[in-house]
Amino acid sequence: MSRRSALAILLAALAAAAIGVSSLGGGTLVVLMILAGIGCAAFAAARVAVAARARGRAGPLGRQFAIAVAIVIGPLLLALVVLSLLMFVSGHDAALVAVIVAFAGVVGVVAANGLAAAIIADAQTIRDGLLAVGEGERELTISTSARDELADVAGAATAMIERLAAEEAARDQSETARRHLVAAVSHDLRTPITSLRLLAQAVEDEIVDGEARREYLERMRTHIVALSALIDDLFELSRLEAGDIRWTLERVSLDELVSETVAAMRVHAELKGVAVHTDLPDSLHPARANPEKVQRVLFNLIQNAIRHTPADGSVVIRAEPVADRIEIEVADTGDGIDAAERDLVFGPFYRGGVNASRTSDGAGLGLAVSRAIVEAHGGQIWLAESPAGTRVRFSLPAAA
Q: 283: which DSSP letter?
A: T
pLDDT for position 284: 85
Domains in the chain with CATH codes: 3-134 (no CATH), 153-241 (1.10.287.130), 250-397 (3.30.565.10)
pLDDT for position 329: 94
pLDDT for position 217: 85
3-state secondary structure of 255: helix
pLDDT for position 275: 93
| 38 alpha-carbon distance from chain centroid | 56
Going across the sheet that includes 275-279, the strands are 275-279, 314-322, 325-332, 390-397, 381-384
Residues 6+ apart with CB under 8 A from 34: 79, 82, 83, 86
Q: How far apart are CA 344 and CA 329, in angstroms?
A: 19
Q: How many CB atoms lie within 10 A of CB 21?
A: 10
Are 358 and 246 in contact, with CB atoms under 8 Å apart?
Answer: no
Are 358 and 374 in contact, with CB atoms under 8 Å apart?
Answer: no
Q: What is the pTM of this model?
A: 0.53
pLDDT for position 328: 93
pLDDT for position 37: 67
Angle 388-391-395 from CA coordinates, rounded to 5°:
160
Are 24 and 35 in contact, with CB atoms under 8 Å apart?
Answer: no
φ/ψ region of 327 (left if φ > 0, alpha if ψ in -120 to 50, else beta) reads beta
pLDDT for position 326: 93
DSSP string, 321-357: EETTEEEEEEEE-S----GGGTTTTTSTT----TTT-
Mean pLDDT by 10 residues, the chain (400 residues): 55 54 53 65 68 64 68 68 61 61 60 66 84 85 79 87 87 75 72 82 80 83 78 77 79 90 88 90 88 90 89 92 91 83 72 43 72 90 87 91
Determine the angle formed by the axes of helices 28-54 and 3-23, rounding to 10 degrees. 150
| 194 alpha-carbon distance from chain centroid | 43
Distance (Å) of CA 210 to CA 33, 95, 196, 204:
120, 126, 19, 14
DSSP string, 192-227: HHHHHHHHHHHHHTT---THHHHHHHHHHHHHHHHH
